[in-house]
Structure 1
Amino acid sequence: MKKLFALLVLSGIGAQAFAHPADSARVKSLTADTAKIRTVQRSLPSPLPDPPFPTSDWDGAPLVGSDATAPNYPLTKLLGLSNSRLKIYGWIDPGANISSSKNSNAPTSYDLIPNNVVLDQVGLKFDMQPNTVQTDHVSAGFLVTTIFGTDYRYTTGKGYFSNQLLNDNNKYGFDPAEMYGLLYFPKIADGMLLKVGRFISPADIEAQWATDNYLYSHSLMFTVDPYTFTGAQATFKLGSYWQLEVGVHAGNDMAPWSPSAQINGLLMARWVSHDNNNSIYGGINSLGNGDYTRQHDDLQMVVATWGHKFNKTLHMMTEAYYMWQYHALTGGTVINGPAQPFLTGVGPGVPIPGRENAIGIVNYFQIFVSPKNYFSIRNDALDDPQGGRTGYATWYSSHTIGFVHYFNDYIRIRPEIRYERAYADGITPYDNGTKKDQYTAGMDLIVRF
C-alpha cells in the first residue's frame, strides 16, 4: 500500500516529463472534420468512426480530457434528461445460434446454449460523467450498470447476488456489474480521475456489454479472464500521449466482503503515437498472493493490447496475457449446481498442485464498409495446460468472421460464423466433454433505448 501511495504522488509531480511541447498546438490545430467527431476535448481526436465501430477510441480505456457524456438515447429523452448531465438508457439483446453441439457450446461464452433463442442481456445504465475537459474545479459523477439475461453468469461477482449462479446455476439472472463513483481532480498531473466501487477489469479489446463489443460471441481467452474488480483506481493524464492507472482491488469477480477476497494491486499504462495510428495499453491487471481461496479464483494477470490503424478502411486490435494462481482446482471458481444441460461440469474440480497458469492471445481485424456496416475477423488461442480455466488440459483456437449492420442509430444485427478446436490428444471439451471441435453460426439483435 505504501508503494501504491508513493506512485500516486510521484505521478502528479512527474507528469510533465511525459508531455510533448507540441501537445497544445496539435489540439488547437484540429481540422473541421475532426471537430465533428469530438468538439470539446483535451485529448487526441478519435481515431475510429463511431458508428459503426462500438468505440471510437483505442482500447476502450477511459480518457481524461475527453467529453464522456453519453448520447441522448430514447429513454433519456422520454425522462426529460436531454439537457442534464444524468443520462438513463439501456439496451435489449436477444441472440440465437445453430451449432454442431447438442447441449452446450461451452467453453464458448455469451453464446452458451446451442440451437436456441435466448435473451442474452437487458442492460440499464444510470450515468453521470464528471467534466474532465475543464481544468478549473473538482467534478464528480457515477455509473451504475445492471444486466439481466443469460450473460449474467460471466460478470457475476461472489457476494453480489452470486447465489443465482454459484449455488443455483440458473439459466437467467441479474447482476449489478458496475457501481462506482467518480471524482476528477484537475490539478493532479494533467488531470486525475478517481474511480471507487465495482468496475470492469482493464485492459480488454472485448467488452462485457453487447453494445461495446465488435462481435456477438467472444474469444476463448476473454471467456476465462477477470471480468470485474471492486476497489479504487486512479487514472492520471500525462500529456496527450500517456495515461497511468494505479489501483487496489479485492480480486477478480468478488466483493471485498466475500470470504474469498484478497488485496491485489493494479498498475497499467496507455500510450498513443503522435499520429494516433498506434496505441499500446498494458501492465499488471492484478497482483497479490494469487491464492485460490474457498472455491474461488484469485487470478494474477499481466496483459497488453496493441491497436493499429492501417488507413480509413482497415484497423486491427491485438491482445495477449499471462495469468496464474496457486492451489487452484480444475475449472476454476466452483459452481455447486445443480447441473444443467448447458453446463454439467458443476462441483469442485481436481486440485492442481503449485502454480496454475494460462496464456491467451487474440487478434481482431476490422474492415470499414460504411457508417452502417463493417466486417470483423477474429482469431484467438488459449493455452490451458492444467485445465484450471476450462476444466480440460489442452490448448484451443477459435476463428470467427462476422458482419455488423446498423438499421439506424439504435438497432443493429451481428451475424457470424465460427469454428473452434481443442488440440491435446484424447481431450474433448465441447458439448459437455464429448467433442473435440465445434461449428456455430450465430446472430444477435441489439436495440438501444
Structure 2
Amino acid sequence: MRKYLLAGASLVAMMGMGGAANAGDTLPPAGKTFCDPYKNYGCLDSYLGSDFFTRFVNYYRLEWGKDSAPSDPKAPASRRDAWPATPQSIPPMPFTEWPYGGATAIGVTRPNSIDSPLMSALGNTSVGQAMNDAHVQVYGWINAGGNLSNNTVRGGNSPAAYDYNPNTVQLDQAVVYIERLPDTVQKDHVDWGFRIAPIYGENYRYTTAYGLWSNQLLQQNKNYGYDMPMAYGEVFIPYLADGLLLRFGRYISIPDIEAQLAPNNYMYTHSMTYTFDNYTNTGINASLSLNKNWMVQGSVSVGTEAMPWHVGAKIANANPNPLFPDSTMLKDPGAQPSFSAGVRYVTDSGNDGVYVVANGINNGTWGYNNLQWYGLTYYHKFNDQWHISFETYNEHQNNVLNLDNPASVALVASGTPFSLDVMPWNAPFGAHCGNTTQLSCTASVQTFLTYVNYSPTKLDNISYRLEWFDDKQGQRTGVKTRYVETGLGWQHWFSPQIEMRPEVSIYRALDAPAFNGNSNLGIAPNKKTAVIGSADIIIHF
C-alpha cells in the first residue's frame, strides 16, 4: 500500500515543483517554444510535446494550480440554449449538475468531453485519433487513503464507511472507465453510448452484487477485491419531448446525493444514509426529459445488488423450517422483477433541484439486499460559495429472520439462503423484532442527511455533514439503535486531476454499542461513540 502513496506523493511533488518554477506561469516542455494554451489553445500540441510520456506529464503540469482545462474556442456548445444554468463546477465540487441516476445528463453532455491526461497523451497517436473519431475515451483514477480511529478491532469502524478497518492505510479504489458518451445536447439524430467501469480495491465490499464475483466477499472475505459496478449501454432518442435516454445493463441506482466512486463525493467517507441503501440495479432504465425543468424515470430490474441468473435459481435446504419449508429454497429471494420510478424538477435558475424516487420495488421479501426505497433529494444554491444538499428516505424488507426468537437464531447456522453453511462471511443481518414469538418481521430504516457546502476558492470546498439514521430493527447495521453522525471535510484540488480530502467525523449510537465489533469474527461491539479522522488522495488519469 505504501508504494501507492509514495507514487502519488512523488507525482504531486513533481507537479508542484513544475508549477512553482516559473512564478505561476505555464511551463514549456523541454526544447519547445514557450506558449500558454490557456491564452492560445492552438499551441496545446506544441506545449504537450510529441511522445506519450512527455505529453502525459506535461498535461499535469499544464493544469497544475488551475481550476479547469484550457478552453477550445471551436468546441460546440456544451448545453442547450435556455437550459437551466449549471449550478456547480468541477473543481471544487464533485459534480456540475444536481445529481440524478440511471442516465447520462440530458441536454448537457457532449462526446469526448472528459478532461483526461491519458487521452491527451494519446491525442497525437493513431490509436488516440481513432478513439477520438469513434468518440471513445479511456480514463480513470487511483484513490488511496487512511484513517486514525478510537476503534481497534479489525472491521471495527463499521457501520462507518468507507474506512472499514481502523488505523490503516489502504488502496480504496483503482478505476478505469471505458466509455462513449451520447450527444444529448443535439436534437437531430439518435445517438448511443456505453460505459464499462472495472474497480479494484477495498471499496469492492460496498459495491458487490450477489452473483457477480461475490465469492470474494461472501466466501473469502478478502480485504481487496474487484467488481464492475457499471457495465451498460445507452440510446438517446431526441424526438420524444426534450429527449428520451434508455440505459440497459448494470448501473448505479437512481437516488442519492453520493455515489460509490470516489470523485463523485464531497468527502472521503460516506454517510450511513448512503452506505446502507440501494447501490446498483441491473435492468433497463428510461429517463424522459419532458422539458427543461421536468424529467420522469421508470425502470425494470432484477432487484438491488442482484443478478439476472439468480432469478428463480434454487439451492438445497439442509434444514426445512417454517420460514423456508421445502427441501430447496431460492438462492436469493430478492432476485425478482422489480420496478423503480422517479420525477425530477429543476428551476430555471438551476439553483434548486428536487428528485423524488421509489427504487427496487417488489414484494420486499428478505433478500441479499432487497431494499424497498422511498425518498427524495433536494439541492439549493444560495450563491457561488454556498449550497446545501438534503436527502431523506424510508426503506424496508419483509420476512426478515427474527434474532429475538431462539428458533430463528438457530436458523442462522442452517436453513435460510443466508445461513453460515451457505454464506459464511458478510451475510445480510437479521432483525430484532422486539418479541420472541415471530420467526420474521419487517425491518425498516428512516434517515435524514444534510450537507452544507462552502467554497472559499475555485479549488476548495468545505463540507459539513449531519445525519440521523434510525435502524429500527438493526437489519442494516447489525445493531438496533438510532445513530447521529456529524463530520467536517475539506476537498482541496491541486488541479482538475489531483485532489485530497482530509476530514474528521464523530458517530454516536444512542441506544446500544455499535462500534469496535466484527460480526464475521463473533466480536460484539463495545463502543457507542466512534471518532475517526481520515484523508485520501485521488489522482485522475
* Residue identity opposite 1:125 in structure 2: Y
Shift of the alpha carbon at 1:372? 0.8
Alpha-carbon separation, structure 2, partners of 1:417 and 1:36: 44
The residue number in structure 1 matching 2:520 is none
Shift of the alpha carbon at 1:384? 0.5
The residue number in structure 1 matching 2:106 is 64
Match of 2:530 among 420, 438, 442: 438
Q: Is the 8 A contact 1:320 1:362 kept in 2?
A: yes
- After TM superposition, the score normalised by the length of structure 1 is 0.86
* Residue identity opposite 1:273 in structure 2: T
Structure in which a larger fraction of residues adopt strand: 1
How has the CA–CA distance of structure 1 residues 38 and 387 changed in structure 2, closer, same or farther, with 3 Å as cutoff?
A: farther
Number of aligned residue pairs: give it: 409
The question of 1:321 aligning with 2:393 is answered: yes
**Deviation readout 1:395-434 (Å, 9 max, x if unpaired):** 101100001111112111100011001011xx11101011
How has the CA–CA distance of structure 1 residues 406 and 355 changed in structure 2, closer, same or farther, with 3 Å as cutoff?
A: same
* Residue identity opposite 2:460 in structure 1: N
The residue number in structure 1 matching 2:468 is 381
Shift of the alpha carbon at 1:276? 1.6
The residue number in structure 2 matching 1:400 is 487
Shift of the alpha carbon at 1:60? 4.2
Shift of the alpha carbon at 1:345? 6.8
The residue number in structure 1 matching 2:409 is none
Shift of the alpha carbon at 1:131? 1.1
Alpha-carbon separation, structure 2, partners of 1:108 and 1:431: 11
The residue number in structure 1 matching 2:20 is none
The question of 1:235 aligning with 2:277 is answered: no
**Deviation readout 1:100-140 (Å, 9 max, x if unpaired):** 00122000111111111000000110110111111121111
Match of 1:53 among 73, 90, 93: 93
Q: Is the 8 A contact 2:513 2:526 kept in 1?
A: yes
Match of 2:510 among 423, 431, 445: 423
RMSD of aligned C-alpha atoms? 2.5
Where in structure 2 are there 5+ consecutive unaligned residues?
A: 1-70, 314-331, 404-411, 434-439, 518-524
SS of the counterpart of 1:164?
helix
Shift of the alpha carbon at 1:298? 1.0
Q: Is the 8 A contact 1:138 1:184 kept in 2?
A: yes
Alpha-carbon separation, structure 1, partners of 2:263 and 2:361: 30
* Residue identity opposite 2:148 in structure 1: I
Alpha-carbon separation, structure 2, partners of 1:324 and 1:246: 20
Alpha-carbon separation, structure 2, partners of 1:430 and 1:255: 31
Where in structure 1 are there 5+ consecutive unaligned residues?
A: 1-32
* Residue identity opposite 1:39 in structure 2: A
Shift of the alpha carbon at 1:385? 1.1
Shift of the alpha carbon at 1:40? 2.6
Moved more, 66-75 or 99-108: 66-75
Match of 1:390 among 453, 470, 477: 477
Alpha-carbon separation, structure 2, partners of 1:338 and 1:443: 37
* Residue identity opposite 1:185 in structure 2: I
How has the CA–CA distance of structure 1 residues 347 and 45 changed in structure 2, closer, same or farther, with 3 Å as cutoff?
A: closer
* Residue identity opposite 2:537 in structure 1: L
The residue number in structure 2 matching 1:8 is none
- Percent same amino acid among aligned pairs? 34
How has the CA–CA distance of structure 1 residues 39 and 390 changed in structure 2, closer, same or farther, with 3 Å as cutoff?
A: same
Alpha-carbon separation, structure 2, partners of 1:117 and 1:72: 29
Q: Is the 8 A contact 2:218 2:426 kept in 1?
A: no
- After TM superposition, the score normalised by the length of structure 2 is 0.72
The question of 1:167 aligning with 2:241 is answered: no
Shift of the alpha carbon at 1:49? 2.2
How has the CA–CA distance of structure 1 residues 185 and 105 changed in structure 2, closer, same or farther, with 3 Å as cutoff?
A: same
The residue number in structure 1 matching 2:380 is 308
Alpha-carbon separation, structure 1, partners of 2:419 and 2:275: 16
Shift of the alpha carbon at 1:347? 8.0
Shift of the alpha carbon at 1:335? 8.8
SS of the counterpart of 1:76?
helix
**Rg larger for:** 2
**Deviation readout 1:271-312 (Å, 9 max, x if unpaired):** 01122211101121121111114xx13110111000001111
How has the CA–CA distance of structure 1 residues 380 and 334 changed in structure 2, closer, same or farther, with 3 Å as cutoff?
A: farther
